[in-house]
Amino acid sequence: MSLYEYEESKVVGQSDPSFYALIMAAMRKADSDNLLRLRAVWPDVWKEFQERYNAPGGVLPGENR
């Protein structure tokens, strides 16, 4: 990690995203190796992320926007 990345994390943290929003954002940005690690630790988050990614507007069946 670099000083730049540390400073950038402070900016992201200021918007106060939820923990799982951060995990899903990390999954979006991850390279192949890091994505494998994230998927291994949070398989349920990965499953929902994929379902929402493939659903129109991210809305799953039975949900209202």
Q: What is the largest CA-CA distance in the chain?
A: 44
CB 1 within 8 A of CB 23: no
pLDDT of residue 38: 98
- The answer for 44, left when phi > 0, alpha when psi is -120 to 50, beta otherwise, is alpha
* Residues of the chain above pLDDT 70, percent: 100
Question: Tens digits of per-residue pLDDT, 14-36?
Answer: 999 999 999 999 999 999 999 99
pLDDT of residue 32: 98
